[in-house]
Structures are given as C-alpha cells and as structure tokens.
Structure 1
Amino acid sequence: MKLKIRSLHMENFKGIKMLDVTFSGKTKISGQNAVGKTTIFDAFTWLLFNKNSSGEEKFNVRPLNEGIRVDNVEIKVSAILDVDGNGVELSKTQKQNWVKKRGTDTAVLQGNVNSFEIDGYPKSEADFKDYVSGLAQSEEMFKMLTNPQYFSSLKWKDQRDILMKLVSETSDVELAKTDGKYAPLINELEKAPSTDDIRAKFSKALSGWKKKQAEIPVRIDEAEKSKIDVDVAEQELAKVDLVRRIAECGKKMENAGSALGDLRSKEMQLQFDMSGMEQTMNRELSNKRSIMDAELRDCKNELEHFAVTISLKEKQISDNEKTITDADAERKKLGEQYNSEKAKAFDETPYLFDESKWIFDESTTVCSLCGQKLPADKIEQLKADFEERKTKAKADAKRKLSDSKSDFITQKESNLEEIKAYGFAKKNLIEELTKKNADLQMEIDSLKKQEQGTFTNKEELCKLLSEIPEEADYSQNEEYAKLKARHNEVLAEIEKLESNGVDQVVTDLKAEKADLQSQLEEVNKVIAQAANNVAIDDRIETLRDEQKEIGQKVADQEQMLYLLEEFIRFKLNKVSESINSHFKTVNFKLFETQLNGGMKDCCECTVNGVPYSTLNSGHRIVAGLDIIRSLSELYGVSVPIFVDNAESLNEFNVPDMDAQLILLSVSEDKQLKVEGV
C-alpha cells in the first residue's frame, strides 16, 4: 500500500489561523523557528491518531492569544490523501462544549467534541478510526515509517525484535548441520526450546558436578582420619610370640620339676630370644616398607594433581588463543575501515560558484512599457545592484564551501578516532591475553618439570620397594647364629633325657599362661580393628576413581557450554549478515565479544563502523531513511516521511526513497515557505 498527502488544510490549529499546503513527491517546508513547520506534522498526526508528532495525546491544540486560550473558535484539519492512486479526503473538526448550569446564565466549558468526515460524509469516531487503521495498519508502524528518528529511539531489544523479522526462517538444527563441529549439539537443539535453555541445562549440570567435585577431597580426608594408626605386621608378630609363649607355658607345666623341664625351659628361652630377634629384624623391614608405601601414595596423588592442573591451564591457553584470533581479525577489519575513512576526500564541486549563471541581462536596460532605453544613471544603478548581488552570492558560496568542508573534516576526524579507539581496545585485549598465555605456559612448564621430578621419585621408590625382602635373612646376624647353635645343643640334650615329673611351679605357670592369654585377646582385638583399614583404603581408592569420573563430567559440561557459545556466535554472525544485507547505508551490531570471550546481546546501529549515537544530525537522518526504506519493503507499506531538521542534510546525500518526502528545514524566512523539490 502506498500513501501520499496531496494537500493539507488547517484552521485555528495551534499557532496557525489558516493555512493550505500542497505537497509533491518531495516537499521542502522552511522558515525560522516557531513559525509552524512542526505544527504541520502535528496537524497530520492529530487528524489520523489524535496525537502530536511526538506521540503525545495530551497537547495544546487550541490557539493562544498572549498565552491565553482562544475560545469559541472551531479547530479544523483536513487532508486529501492519495491511497494507491485513489484520492480520499479526511476531515476532523473540534468544537467546545459550553453548558449553562441550571439556575444560572453562566456557561461552563464541559470539554471538546470532535466530528469526522470521509469524502464529505459524516462518520462516527469509531468508523473514522477503523478507516485510518486500514490505511496505516498500526499506529506504531506508521511512526516507524514516517519519522526517520523513531526507530533508533526504541529500546534496543524492541529494535532487535523488529530486525529479526527480516531474517529468513532457518532452524538452529539446520544451521548446526552446516558445520560438523556442532554435531554434538544437534540432539540438544532438536529437543530444547532455545539455546538459552541448553545453556541453563549444562550450566546447572556443571554446577552440580563441581559441587560433587569439591566434596570428594573432604570425604577422602574423613576416611583417612577414620583409619587406626597401628602396625599390623608388628601385632601379628606379637600374636605369634604370645601363642608360642602360651604353648611353652603348657610344656613347662608338663615338665615342671624335672631335668627335662629345665632343659625345655632353656630351649624355650632360647627360642624366645631367637623369636624376639626375628621380630625386631622383620619389624625393621615392615617399617621400611610402610614408609615407602606412604611416600609412593603421595607421589601418585601429586601426579594426578599435576595432570589435572596442566590440562586446565592448557585449555585456558586454547580458549585465549581463539579469542586472540577473533580479536586480531576484528582489528584487521578496523584497519581496513580506518584506511578507507582516511582516504575519503571532500568534494568541493557542489559548492563552487558558477560564473556562467551570473551574466547581466541587457534587456533590463530597456523600459518594458515604452521600449526606450533607460537613462544611463538608471542603467549604472541596475548594473551596480547586479554586481552587489553577484558579490554576495560568491561570498555565500565560499561560506557554504568552508562550512561544509569543516563539517566533513570534523566528522572524518571523529570517525577515525572512533575506529582507532576500537582498534586500541582490541590491541590491548590481544596483548593482555598474549601475556596471560605466556604466564600460563611458564606455569605449565614449571608444573611439568615438577611432574617429571615426582615421576622419577615414584619410579625410584617402586624400585627400592621391590628390593625389600618379605622376610629377614637371620643367618647374617652373628648373635642370632650363636643362639641358634646353643638352641641346637639344648635340643640334643633334651633328646638324651627321658625323665619327666610335676613341680610346684605349676601354679605360677598357670598364672603366667592366663596373663599371656589375656594379652593375646587384646592383640586379636587390635588386629580385627586394623583389618577395617583395608576396607577404608578400598573406599578411598573408590573415591579417587569417582573423583576422576567427576572431573571428566565437569570437562564434558564445560566443553558443551564452550561449543554452545561458539554456535551462538556462529548463528549471530549469520543473522547479522542476513539483516545487514537489507540495508545500503547502515549496519547493525547484534552482539559484542567481552574480555572473557563471552558474548553480550545488543542492537547498535552504525554507519561505516561509527555508532548512531555519535553521528551528526545529517548522518542520523540518512541512517533513519535507510532503515525506513528496508522496513517499508518488509511491511509492503509506503507512507509520507517527515524529516525534521532537514537543513543538516546535503542534497547529494539524501537517498532515493520510494515514498513521499517532506523536509522541515530551519531558514531565515520569517514566514513559512513551501516548495516542491
């Protein structure tokens, strides 16, 4: 649908008593401030939507006389519109409703009454609104398509929602299938409503696994503390010795009071002494093994810690390198933009003074009534006036050239500074991450050196542990060898004796035996408690295996989140390319990369890389017209475009628009000036 204004009629509207304006395809309305340029725009929007051009419903429509409201006059606005080539006249009139209160002659204003007409036929307000809605589709759309600055005044999220309508429908699954590295995400993309839901899912899982990961060392420490600090080997040796001594007591009781008993006592003492030496020698070997076992466990724990720490730092380096690569690519692009901007040169041609247009017209020296040549002094005056106007025109052209060139240089310098600022930001990011990677690599090298030292120590401990015998070599001990020889001699003597008997020492032997049995019971209890240490060690080993599995789960969640961020960046780049393909002058930045490599949503309009907020008035208008052109194509609607502050535009940079343009410009004219362009 294409809508144009053919003409607009106003009576007593704000500061305009009576005015008729005829519009062309491009109409310029100029004059000093406060002469009524914006009032024309207000009148048109009041007619259609009962609001001014800023969207305010409550504004002063009625004229004022020295600040006092003018009553008892009708306010009328009518317009002849061209709707797809067909003319239609819309009219709106507002009257005051004066009512006399009962019992008085004083009339009181009870508000205003509006009446409406379409092609001269009276219409109800509802019917009039229905007709206007059919023309403009919606008031919001009309504002976007008729005011170049309206779209950029919206919240960035609203701008983004509108721009997304320009993108062809392509599902996340279809997009992910275009690159094999996103294959792990496809199953999630098929099930999840959005990438935000996927991020929430894996972030929640990562948080849960990290919580479990933090709990494992505490549980291992608790298990270690629950173990009993006892030397099992020593207790076993003590048990063997007690069993032997109890048996010897029994034998002594049988042989008490006889020579054989004495010999057996000697033999038992020798056996006891030998057993004590055996226990001492085996205890030393057991202690040595225990110490090395503890050192070996410490080595294994350190190696696991080194492996996890190095892996995390290497991943951090990889992530930083990806961010550096992306930042370097953006920096190169900024360099190209900087060179392109720097190469721009000001075109003086449109501002040069045209001498050919300033030739004195000799026909003006002849009287238009009688045909006779004017007096010489009159002719000289005409020529002097002509030269004065010519001189003034030259000065005006020179001034416009100087002002325009100054504006061009100022804007160019601003653009270059903006690009340099962005470039330095990327450079600083690259330098910061490069230094950070160098520090990380130094830390990794140090950790690997420590890891190698720990590994060497572990290998040496394993070797030394394997060299410790299971049982001591008693024959190498000289004292033990003497006891052994004496023990053999006593055994030989015992064999020669056959006497036996009972002695009074039986009672003492019974007491000794009872005491030894009590000690044996205590040793058995300690051994039983120590057996629980084996179960605890098994539990600790299970926890360490679980710790490795959880570490892998954490890495898996982090990998999926990293891949998801990569996919979102890939998707947004595709979306940005698709959206920006619809515009000729502007581009939209839909996300920005943060220092930590993450992404932050945004919607920022730029022209040649310069943000809309830093553009001058002229460039903002040109950007707004480019946006309107694309949105008009999207909605299939063309409506009149009112360009306020149009004096900041140059004729050469006004884009061609498939819509009616109404340029509102400040000039030195004291009265409104309407002209077709």
Structure 2
Amino acid sequence: MSKRLTLLTLTLRNFKGVKEFSLMAAGGNVKVFGDNATGKTTLFDAFVWLLFDKDSQNKKDFSLKTLADGKELHGLDHEVEGQFFLDGKQLSLKKVYSEKWTKKRGSATAEFSGHTTDYFIDGVPSKLKEYKALVDSIVQEDVFKLLTSPSFFNDQLKWQDRRKTLLEICGDISDEDVIDSNPELAALPTILQARKLEDHRKIIAARRAEINKELDRIPVRISEVQRGIPDLSDVDKISLEAEVKKLNAEIDDLMTQISSIKNGKAISDKQKEIQQIEIALLEIKRDHDAGAKDTIYQLRARIQEEKSNLSILQSKVSNITSSKRHNDENIKSIDTQLSLLRDEWHEINNQVFTHNSECECPSCGQALPEEQVSAAREKALEQFNLEKARKLEGIDARGKQAKARKESLNSDNEKLKKDYEKLGSQVTEKEEVLGKLETQLEQQESLVTDVLDNPAYVEKLKEKQTLEEGIKQVQELAEESVKDIQIEIMKLRDKRDEVQGQIGEFSVVEQAKARITELSEQERELAAEFESIEHELYLADQFIRTKVDLLEEKINSRFKYARFKLFETQINGGLTEVCETTYKGVPYSSGLNNAAKINVGLDIINTLSEHYGFFAPIFIDNSEAVTKLIDTKSQTVSLVVSEQDKQLRVEVDPEDMKEAI
C-alpha cells in the first residue's frame, strides 16, 4: 500500500529574504515563475527545512534569516507553514525560528542570547521530539530527498551510495546465479575456497606483485652468480689432486727425518746413562741419610707422644681444680643456709603461748561459762605446741640435709686433693722426660751432614753434568738440521695449499651451477604460479563482468529512460566498480543537457517512489529547460526562470487541481 503526500499550501514569512509568500498548490502540479533571485529555490529550501532542518542542498548550517545590506535584521520571526494531504487526510506543519533576547540583572536593555525554534502540528504547539517522530513516521529523510529532487540522486549522492540504492531496489544477484550463467566460471568456487571474491582478488593481487618482484630479481641473482664463477677451462682437476698427494708424501718423509733426528741413538744412549746415574744418586743419598735421620725421626715421634700425654695430664689437673672450686662455693652456700636455719630454730623455740581469757558469745555478747573458756584455752595450747614442734622438726630436717651435703662435699674435696697431688707429680715427671728428649733431638740434629759433603755423591753429579753437556751439543747440531727441514716443509705446505685452493674452485663452480639451476627452477615455478594467478584474476574479472552485465540488465529494466554503467574497464584490462547514470549512451556527468538530466531524474524518482511505496511533491528547479516533462505519479512543483516576472507568479493546472481534490 503506497503513501501519498501532496502539498496544498506552503507559506513563508521572513524566510531567506521572502517577507511573506504563499504557494497555493491545492494538491496539483504547479509552475512557479520568477526572475533570478526572486525566491524560487527558496521555496524548495523552505519545504525541506520545514521537514528536516536543512536546505535543498542538504546543508544544515545555511542562513535562513532576512538580510539588509548584508546584515541580519533582528526582531523577526522566521516562519514556514505547510498544509498537506497525507493519504486523504489533511495535515498542518509549522516551524517558527525566533531570536532570543534576555535582560541581565541590573541592565535596562535586553541582549541577544541565541535562537529558539517552535514546532506546531495541526496548529498545536509540539516538542521537537514529537515533531520529528511524526515526520519520520511519514518518510525517512534520506528517502524523502531522493523522491523530491530530480538532481539529488545524481548530483548529491556518492557513486557508492547510488550503486547501493540501485542494488537495494533491484536486488543483488547471487554468486551461484552468476557462475551458473557462464560455464567458464565453473572452477571459481574451488579457487575461492569459501573466500569472498574481493578478498581473494586482494590476496592474489598481492601475491602477483610479489611474484613480479621475484621474477625481476632472479635474473639479477643469476647474473651475480655467473660473474663469480672462476674460469677453469685450462685446469685439470685430476692432475691437481695427484700433485697434492705427491706433496703430502714429501711432507710426511721430512717429518719422519725430524723425528729421527730428535730421537737419535747418541742422545738416546746418553739419556740412558743419565737415568742410571740418577738411580745411583738416590741410593747414595738414602744411605747417607739412613742412620742419623732415622734416630731424629724416632726422637720426634717420642717427643710428640710425650707432649700428647702431658697435655692429657694437664687437662685432668685443670678439671680437678675446677671441681674443687665448685665444691668450695657450694660449702660456703651451705654454711650460710645452716646459719639461717639456726637463727630460725631459736626464734621459733623462744615463742610463748598467749591466750585471751575474756571470751564472749559472738551472738549475744554475754561472757562464756568458765568451763568453756578453760576448754578453749587447753585446745589452743595443744594446737600451739603441735605447730611449734612441727616447725622445729622441719628446720632440724633441713639442717641435717644441708650438713650431710656439706660433709659429702668435704669428703669429695679430700679425694680431689689426693688426685691433684698425684697428677702434679706425674706432670713433673713428664716435663722432665720431655726436656731430656728435646735435648737429645738437638744433639742428634747437630750431627746430620749435607749429602753434598759426600764424595761419592759429588762424583756422580759430575758424571751426570758431563753427559747432559754432551746431549746439549748433539741437540744443537740436530736443531740446525731440523730448522732446515722445517723450512722445506713450510714451502711444501704453501705449495699444497695453493693447489688445494685451485681444487676448491671446482667446488665453487659446482655450487654456482647448482645455485643457477635452483634459481632457474624457482623462476619456472614462479612463472607457472604467475600464469595460474593471471587465470584466477581473469576468472574473477569475468565473474564481475558477467555479474555486472546481469545487474545492469536487471537494473536498467526497471527504468524507462535512465541507464546505469556499473563497471569500468581499466587500462590493464581489469574492472573497477563505478555507478554512472547515462541517457542514450551519454553520461550524466558529462555531455548531458539540463532537459535530459531533469527527465532522467524524474524517471529515477518514478522507480524509487514505486520501490519505497511513497509519492511526495517533486521540486523541479530550472524547469524552463524542459520542453516536456515525462509523466510522473507524484505532484510536481516546477521552478521556471522568467525574466519578466520580478515577483513570484504561480500557475496551477486546473485539471491537476481537480484530480488532487
């Protein structure tokens, strides 16, 4: 069920320089004539502002106040009111834009402090939220602008939004339908692997660029490797290897000669004689040291033993001294305790029994009978004597214990004294023995002589020195020979290294050839992959071409005059998405005259109105350019430039008015 909004009247007061004007449309098609700057476009601005707070160019911050000499006139209310038929019911909308003047405290004059906007629905003051909700319930802003201006779709929408709108109207075509329509695309689903086509295009485009870079670099790398290959055309590898073998044999022979020289028989014989002499020297020294040093060793061992025994005895003496000192301190403490006990015993023993003979009854206060008093005294005396005896016995018991402990300590001290005297004599004896042993050691050590004083030992040393000098002379002669041989070995090794270096160049050549083969194989693989990617890109482009052809056919079938170009072929053969409106092959953006632009815009509005199910008044600016407007179901307000009309003039088609009513 379609909605239809028709304009009955549009009244402007102080709006963009129009002091007051009423467009009496009566629901029919209207033509508004006027010279330039008489306010034709202002009518469209007022119409859009009334609904959406913007002008016809979709600007929100436009100036709607009246100007004089370039300055705003203050104190005016700027008002637009529209009377409409909405699905057969009359609707009134009004907005009033006013200046706000306030007086500050203490000031006699009011100051400008901003603007206010008042809203009215069917003459009833309303809040902005209510007003906006009503307008939104009629139609959304973006849809309304598409349906009320022939130029909005092509001039103000981005091409992406135009394309999106067309797809919403006509419906997209599924990938399956596109693939089914072109057998060449059968392999595409397998290639995409559930990825979106655009994502896959990005992946393979990136890989394609990477492969191109690699393909450009590989010849350079091959050239670098080739420049590094040594020229071995005049070199025989087998001959070089035979020469290395010969040089190694010569080096080994010379090394054997050096070993023979260093291990010569003359030196070997003299070294054996030296070993025999060293054995004889050890025997002489052992015999020389045997007697005196054994006695010294035995004396030192005896002294060490006696010192250990003396230390044990001295430790026992120290322990006895410590024990006696501890006993003496305890005896002193016991004597003090016994003295205190004696004083306490005499104090208790001297205590005398006392008794209060004047006894009275605690209840009535009368004196007790004599026999009761006497009995009480006897009982108290008996209790006193028992307690006194108990205390004295306790003191006696403690005194006996202390005395027994003292006697035990004195007895222990007597034993310690005897042990101390016995150990003292033993310590003295040990000290005397130790002194005698140390004297003997000093005497024995003074008798020991140096082995170098032994004539036999000195004679053997001279024989050893003579042999060592002979070895040194032989070695000096051998070293000269060895040096000459070593110089020859170094020359042979340098020659061998040089030949081995030449042999190593054959490995360099082999490695270089292997690297070139590897790079060439990599180049072939990349070329094959590049060809495969190119085929995938071709299929992707074919898919887009097929889909666009189907889309264009589907979309263009919905329009009578307008046609749409949805893709553009690039220089490299690829496709890029666009959305260009054309009429009879002429692009809207270049070459199309105003009359065609207006009629194409009306054709688009007709289709959009049918799609959205809403018909609204269409404001056609520069309508004088069109000889005949195409048919449309919507109400039209044609804005015609007329030089002779210095004030706006309105013509309403009587037939249109009758139909509207």
Q: Using a 3 Å threshold, how does the CA distance of structure 1 residues 232 and 82 change in structure 2: closer, same or farther?
A: same
Counterpart in 1 of 2:39? 36
Question: What is the distance in 1 between the residues matched to 2:104 and 2:494?
Answer: 120
Counterpart secondary structure, 2:106: coil
1:666, distance to aligned residue in structure 2 (A): 2.3
SS in 1 for 2:187: helix
Q: 2:630 is matched by which residue type in structure 1?
A: P
Structure 2 CA distance for aligned equivalents of residues 595 and 579 of structure 1: 26
Change (3 A) 1:182 1:98: same
Aligned match of 1:53 in 23, 47, 56? 56
The 5-angstrom pairing of residues 397-476 of structure 1 reads: none
For residue 135 of structure 1, the aligned residue among 135, 138, 144 is 138
The equivalences for 1:555-570 within 5 A come to 555-570=531-546
Give the aligned residue type for 1:577. Answer: E
Alignment correspondent of 1:202? 204
* Matched AA of 2:522: E
Quick check: 2:240–2:499 contact (8 Å CA) kept in 1? Answer: no
Q: CA–CA distance in 2 between the matches of 1:12 and 1:238?
A: 110
TM-score (norm 2): 0.54
Which residue, out of 85, 97, 100, partners 2:100?
97
Name the structure 1 match of 2:620: 643
CA distances 1:104-138 after superposition (whole Å, capped 9, x unpaired): 33222333332222123221122111111211212
Distance 1:179-1:233 versus aligned 2 partners, 3 A rule: same
CA contact (8 A) 1:236 1:527 kept: no
Letter in 1 for 2:610: E
Query: Secondary structure at 1:618's aligned position in 2?
Result: helix
The residue identity in structure 2 corresponding to 1:200 is K
Change (3 A) 1:599 1:518: closer
Give the match for residue 183 of structure 1.
Answer: 186
Residue 22 of structure 1, aligned match among 25, 30, 34: 25
Which amino acid in structure 2 is aligned with residue 627 of structure 1? I
Contact kept, 8 Å, 1:239 with 1:523, in 2: the verdict is no
Matching residue within 52, 67, 87 for 1:84: 87
1:156 equivalent in alignment to 2:159: yes
Aligned: 1:666 with 2:626? no
- Classify the secondary structure of the residue corresponding to 2:36: coil
Cα displacement (A) at 1:564: 2.2
CA distance change for structure 1 residues 119 and 215 in 2, over 3 Å: closer, same or farther? closer
Post-superposition offset of 1:627: 1.4
**May I ask how many residue pairs the two structures share in their alignment?**
409
1:612 to 580, 583, 588: 588
Moved more, 223-232 or 568-577: 223-232
TM-score, normalised by the number of residues in structure 1: 0.53
Alpha-carbon distance in 2 for matches of 1:73, 1:34: 21
- 1:3 deviates by 1.4
* 1: CA distance, partners of 2:90 / 2:155: 33
Once residues 237 and 501 of structure 2 are traced to their aligned partners in structure 1, the CA distance between those partners, rounded to angstroms, is: 8
Question: Residue 317 of structure 2 corresponds to which residue in structure 1?
Answer: none
CA distance in 2, matches of 1:243, 1:36: 111
Asked if the contact 1:148/1:625 (under 8 Å) is kept, the reply is yes
Whether contact under 8 Å (1:76, 1:92) holds in the other structure is yes
1:145: which partner in 2? 147
Q: CA deviation at 1:20?
A: 5.5
Deviations 1:218-274 (A, max 9, x none): 454455455554469845468889999xx9xxxxxxxxxxxxxxxxxxxxxxxxxxx
Structure 1 residues 53 and 548, CA, compared in 2 at 3 Å: closer, same or farther?
A: closer
Whole-angstrom CA distance in 1 between matches of 2:536 and 2:114 = 65
Change (3 A) 1:160 1:175: same
SS of match in other structure, 1:628:
helix
Distance 1:239 1:103 in 2: 117
**Cα contact 1:232–1:530 (8 A) shared by 2:** no
1-side partners of 2:42 and 2:152: how far apart? 18
Contact kept in structure 2, 1:3 and 1:81, CA below 8 Å: yes
State how far apart, in whole Å, the 2-side matches of 1:230 and 1:43 are: 93
Any idea what the Cα deviations from partners look like across 1:52-105, whole Å, max 9, x if unmatched?
A: 333333444444567665554544332221222222211223443332333333
1:516-573 CA distance string (max 9 Å, x none):
x999978984795466355654554444333322321222222222332232222222
Q: Structure 1's 555 and 74: CA in aligned 2 closer, same or farther, altered over 3 A?
A: closer
AA in 2 matched with 1:148 = P
Contact 2:9 2:22 in 1 (8 A): no
1:657, 1:137 → 2: CA distance? 21
Q: Tell me how far apart the structure 2 counterparts of residues 222 and 66 of structure 1 sit (CA, whole Å).
A: 79
CA distance in 2: counterparts of 1:543 and 1:537, whole angstroms: 10
Paired residue type of 1:206 = R
Alpha-carbon distance between aligned partners in 2 of 1:527 and 1:153, rounded to the nearest angstrom? 79
- Which consecutive residues of structure 1, in runs of 5 or more, have no partner in the other structure? 248-513
- Shift in Å, 1:199: 2.1
Q: Secondary structure at the match of 1:25?
A: coil
| Selected match of 1:554 from 515, 521, 530 | 530
Instruction: Assess if the C-alpha contact under 8 Å between 2:191 and 2:536 holds in 1.
Output: no
Q: Percent identity?
A: 34
Aligned to 2:601: 624
Matched residues in 2 for 1:70 and 1:233: separation?
105
Q: What is the SS of the residue equivalent to 1:166?
A: helix
Q: Distance in 2 between matches of 1:562 and 1:528?
A: 53
2:585 maps to 1:582: no
Amino acid at match of 1:634: H
Q: Find the partner of 2:173 among 170, 173, 176.
A: 170
What letter corresponds to residue 57 of structure 1 in structure 2? K
Let me know the Cα RMSD of the aligned residues. 3.8
Residues 590 and 604, structure 1, Cα contact 8 Å, conserved in 2: yes
Question: What is the alpha-carbon distance in structure 2 between the residues aligned to residue 210 and residue 58 of structure 1?
Answer: 52
How many Å separate the matches in 1 of 2:41 and 2:208? 58
- Alignment match, 1:121: 124
Show the 5 A alignment for 1:313-328.
none
Which amino acid in structure 1 is aligned with residue 27 of structure 2?
Answer: S
Instruction: After TM superposition, give the deviation of residue 669 of structure 1 in Å.
Output: 3.5
1:444-475, Cα deviation, whole Å (9 max, x unpaired): xxxxxxxxxxxxxxxxxxxxxxxxxxxxxxxx
Equivalents in 1 of 2:522, 2:101: separation in Å?
Answer: 88
Based on CA coordinates, which of the two structures has the bigger radius of gyration? 2
Whole-angstrom distance in 2 between the partners of 1:64 and 1:227? 88
- Pairing partner for 1:594 from 564, 570, 575: 570
Q: Is the 8 A contact 1:147 1:642 kept in 2?
A: yes
CA contact (8 A) 1:243 1:520 kept: no
Q: 1:550 to 1:85 in 2, by over 3 A?
A: same
Return the offset for 1:641. 0.4
Rounded to whole Å, the distance in 2 between the matches of 1:31 and 1:553 is 68
Between the aligned partners of 2:100 and 2:61, the Cα distance in structure 1 is: 18
Q: How does 1:148-297 map to 2 (within 5 A)?
A: 148-154=150-156, 155-195=158-198, 197-224=199-226, 227=229, 229-230=231-232, 234=236, 236=238
User: 1:214, CA displacement in angstroms?
Assistant: 3.8
Distance 1:546 1:134, change over 3 A: same
Q: SS of 2:83's equivalent?
A: strand
- For 1:178, the aligned partner's letter is S
> Which sections of structure 2, spanning at least 5 residues, go unmatched?
250-488, 657-661
Quote the Cα distance in structure 1 between the aligned partners of 2:109 and 2:154: 51
